[in-house]
Structure 1
Amino acid sequence: MFTLTIGSIGLGLGYLMFSGMEYANWKTLFKNCGLYKDEMYPKLQEKKRTLYGYCLRFTLPLGLGCDDFLRKQQAIEQYLNRKIDIKYSNKNILIEVYETELEICEFKATETRGPVDLVIGYTHGGKLLKIDLADGAPHVLIAGETGSGKSTVLRSIITNLILTKKRRDIKLHLIDLKKGAEFGIFRKCGMVENFARDRGEAEKLLHKLSCEVDRRYDLFFKNDVVDIKEYNQRFKNKKLDYQIVFVDEFADLRREKESQNILLELASKARACGIHLVVSTQRPSAKIIDGDIRANIPIIVGLKTATEINSRIIIEENGLEKLRGKGHGFLKAGKLKEFQSMNLTPERARDLLKSFYVEQNQEHIEKDDISGEVKDFSFLEVIK
Structure 2
Amino acid sequence: MANKKKTTSKKTAAVAPQPINDQRPRKLKLALGILGLLVGIFICLAIVSYCVSWRADQDKVLTSGLSNFILHDHTPVANWGGRLGAALAHVFVFKGVGIAALAIGLWIAAFGLNILYGKKVVPVLRYMRWLSIVLLVLAPVMTYLFPHTSFAWGGAWGNVSIDYLNGLVGKAGTGMLLLSVAAFFAFVVFALDIRPLLQRAKRTANKVTSAIAPTPVNEEMPNEIVPPVKGERIRSTVMPEVDVPQPVTEKDWDMGLVEKPATGAAKGGTAMALANVHEDEDAPEIAQHEIPFDIEEPHEEDEETDISEADMLTEEEKEYQAYLATKNGSTVILNHDIPAKKTQPKQEFSFEVITQPDEAPAAPAIEHGGHISIEDGEPYAPELDLPNYKFPTLDLLEDRTNEVIQLDKEELEKNKNQIINTLRSFGIEIQRISATVGPTVTLYEIVPAEGVRISKIRNLEDDIALNLAALGIRIIAPIPGRGTIGIEVPNANKQIVSMRALLSSEKFVNTKMSLPIALGKKIDNENYIVDLATMPHLLMAGATGQGKSVGINAILVSLLYKKHPSQLKFVMVDPKKVELSIYRLIEKHFLAKLPNEEEAIITDTKKVIYTLNALCIEMDNRYELLKEAGTRNIKEYNEKFISRRLNPERGHKYLPFIVLVVDEFADLIMTAGKEVEVPIARLAQLARAVGIHLIIATQRPSVNVITGTIKANFPARMAFKVSAKVDSRTILDTGGAEQLVGRGDMLVSHGSELLRLQCAFVDTPEVEHIVEFIGKQRGYPSAFELPEYEGDDDDSKDKVVDLVNRDKLFEDCARLVVQSQNGSTSNLQRRFNLGYNRAGRIMDQLEAAGIVGPAMGSKPRDVLFHTDGELEQFLETLG
Q: TM-score, normalised by structure 1?
A: 0.72
Report the residue type matching 2:607 in the other structure.
E
- 2:731 match: 314
State the match for 1:186 in structure 2: 583
Q: CA deviation at 1:97?
A: 6.5
Determine helix, strand or coil for the equivalent of 2:700: coil
Distance in 2 (CA, whole Å) between partners of 1:293 and 1:13 is 51
Kindly indicate whether residue 559 of structure 2 is the aligned counterpart of residue 161 of structure 1. yes
3-state SS in 1 of match to 2:533 = coil
Partner of 1:152: 550
* Alignment map for 1:85-96 (pairs within 5 Å): 93=483
The 1:74–1:188 alpha-carbon spacing in structure 2 relative to 1, beyond 3 Å, is farther
Partner in structure 2 of residue 8 of structure 1: none
Structure-2 separation of matches of 1:261 and 1:321: 30
Higher relative contact order (CA 8 A, sep 6+): 1
Instruction: Tell me by how many angstroms 1:84 deviates.
Output: 6.8
Q: SS at the partner of 2:735?
A: coil
Report the counterpart of residue 340 of structure 1 in structure 2.
Answer: 758
The residue matched to 1:266 in structure 2 has which SS? helix
Aligned match of 1:18: 347
What do the CA deviations read for 1:312-348 (whole angstroms, capped 9, x no partner)? 2222233222222222111122332111112222222
Q: 2: CA distance between counterparts of 1:54 and 1:310?
A: 24
1:348-367 → structure 2 map (5 Å cutoff): 348-357=766-775, 367=785
2:689 is aligned to: 272
Give 2:642's aligned residue. Answer: 236
Larger of the two Rg values belongs to structure: 2
The amino acid across from 1:342 in the alignment is A
Deviates more, 1:266-275 or 1:302-311: 302-311
Q: CA deviation at 1:272?
A: 1.3
Q: What's 2:529 paired with? A: 130
Match of 1:323 among 733, 740, 748: 740
| Partner Cα distance (1:316, 1:215) in 2 | 35
Answering whether residue 679 of structure 2 is matched by residue 262 of structure 1, we say yes
- Rounded to whole Å, the distance in 1 between the matches of 2:337 and 2:734 is 44
Equivalent residue, structure 1, for 2:622: 216
Residues matched between the structures, number: 334
> CA–CA distance in 1 between the matches of 2:606 and 2:756?
37
1:37 is matched with none
Can you list the C-alpha shifts for 1:287-321, whole angstroms capped at 9, x where unaligned? 00110111111211111112222222222233222
Of residues 253-262 and 298-307 in structure 1, the stretch that sits farther from structure 2 once superposed is 253-262
Correspondent of 2:495 among 100, 103, 119 = 103
For the residue of structure 1 that corresponds to 2:734, the secondary structure is coil
| Amino acid in structure 1 at the alignment position of 2:536 | P
Deviation at 1:106, TM superposition (A): 3.6
Structure 2 unmatched ranges of 5 or more: 1-335, 351-419, 466-472, 594-599, 645-653, 789-879
Q: Which amino acid aligns with 1:200?
A: K
Q: Cα RMSD (Å) of the superposition?
A: 3.9
Partner of 2:540: 142
- Indicate the larger mover: 210-219 or 220-229: 220-229
Distance (whole Å) between structure 1 residues aligned to residue 740 and residue 480 of structure 2: 27
Richer in helix (by share)? 2
Residue 228 of structure 1 deviates from its aligned partner by 1.7
Q: 1:50 to 1:299 in 2, by over 3 A?
A: closer
TM-score (structure 2 length as normaliser): 0.34
Match of 2:701?
284
Whether the 8 Å contact between 2:338 and 2:348 is mirrored in structure 1 is no
Q: Determine if contact 1:188/1:360 at 8 Å carries over to the other structure.
A: no
Deviation track 1:162-198 (CA, whole Å, cap 9, x = no partner) reads 123222221111111123x110111212222333121
Are residues 1:245 and 2:660 paired?
yes
Q: Which amino acid aligns with 2:657?
A: Y
User: Alignment identity in percent?
Assistant: 26
1:57–1:93 Cα contact (<8 Å) kept = no
Q: Which amino acid aligns with 2:571?
A: H
Residues 20/185 of structure 1: CA separation in 2 closer, same or farther (3 Å cut): closer
Contact 2:585 2:772 in 1 (8 A): no
Could you report, residue by residue, the CA deviation over 1:242-296 in whole angstroms, capped at 9, with x for unpaired residues? 1111011112322323232111111111111111000011121110011011111
The residue number in structure 2 matching 1:297 is 714
**Distance of 2:349 and 2:675 partners within structure 1:** 65
- 1:336 and 1:315 map into 2 onto residues whose CA distance is 9
Deviation at 1:150, TM superposition (A): 0.9
Aligned mates of 1:99, 1:193 — CA distance in 2: 44
The aligned residue for residue 203 of structure 1 is 609
Separation in 1, partners of 2:461, 2:641: 51
Comparing both structures, which one devotes a greater share of its residues to strand? 1
